[in-house]
Chain A
Amino acid sequence: DTGVSQNPRHKITKRGQNVTFRCDPISEHNRLYWYRQTLGQGPEFLTYFQNEAQLEKSRLLSDRFSAERPKGSFSTLEIQRTEQGDSAMYLCASLRATRELFFGEGSRLTVL
């Protein structure tokens, strides 16, 4: 247990539906990251927050994706109008001051 919690662990949805994932990072870590990982690939950066400010977004993050971190604590990642290509593992991580990432167990999305 790394101390980073993600919910839900698994989500199956139909194409066109909206889904939301939640991440609770380690409380003393100011930076929170979202990555996406498809089968057999390494994690790909999506976005990160410094406290409540979203400081960088990848081009992978289309207009259908939105992430928030209100009050600089937990974070949510919402995908609107899901497509089959959105099927992946969505990983959240918080950054220690010494630059190591602590990952949650991930939220696996399957879009039918």
Chain B
Amino acid sequence: SQQGEEDPQALSIQEGENATMNCSYKTSINNLQWYRQNSGRGLVHLILIRSNEREKHSGRLRVTLDTSKKSSSLLITASRAADTASYFCATDVQGAQKLVFGQGTRLTINP
């Protein structure tokens, strides 16, 4: 079963614009992670935010976490064509020993 639900399922923007993706989940977590996947390739870890953190930055990435609403968002600023990929949130659920992935957001950056 997939705990995370991501919104939107697909997003198309112009190069240079910001892209925001949202993730909602159902149960208590230790942390939440975001991964990126280029077409036909494996997933690459982008950023991890712990349950006691509210915001985290890494380069052009900004992640927020609201545990009261069980939701997270990933913001990619100043997007580039190379950011075109699918982005997945994954929850490290308390009491479980695996990451549970959402269905992903397909991001297309138009040059």
Interface residues of A (CB under 8 A from B): 2, 4, 6, 31, 33, 35, 40-45, 48, 55-56, 91, 93, 98-106, 108
Q: Are B48 and A99 in contact (CB under 8 A)?
A: yes
Q: List 10 A-B contacts (CB under 8 A).
A: A40-B104, A41-B103, A41-B104, A42-B88, A44-B2, A55-B97, A93-B42, A99-B30, A101-B99, A108-B40
Given A41-B103, A48-B98, A100-B48; 20 other pairs, CB 8 A cutoff: A33-B98, A35-B101, A40-B103, A42-B102, A42-B103, A42-B104, A43-B43, A44-B2, A45-B99, A91-B43, A93-B43, A99-B30, A101-B35, A101-B45, A101-B90, A101-B99, A102-B45, A103-B43, A104-B42, A106-B41
A residues less than 8 Å from B99 (CB atoms)? 33, 45, 101
Nearest 4 pairs between A and B by C-beta?
A: A42-B101, A103-B42, A103-B43, A105-B42
Judged by DSSP, the binding face of A is strand
A residues less than 8 Å from B30 (CB atoms)? 99
The yes or no answer to B67 lying at the interface (CB within 8 A) is no
The yes or no answer to B100 lying at the interface (CB within 8 A) is yes
Interface residues of B (CB under 8 A from A): 2, 4, 30-31, 33, 35, 40-45, 48, 88, 90, 92, 97-104
B residues less than 8 Å from A102 (CB atoms)? 45
Judged by DSSP, the binding face of B is strand
A residues less than 8 Å from B42 (CB atoms)? 2, 4, 6, 91, 93, 103-106
Partner of B97, one of A35, A56, A98, A108: A56
Interface centre among B42, B44, B104 (most CB of A within 10 A): B42
Q: Are A105 and B41 in contact (CB under 8 A)?
A: yes
Instruction: Report B7 CB to chain A, min CB distance, Å.
Output: 13
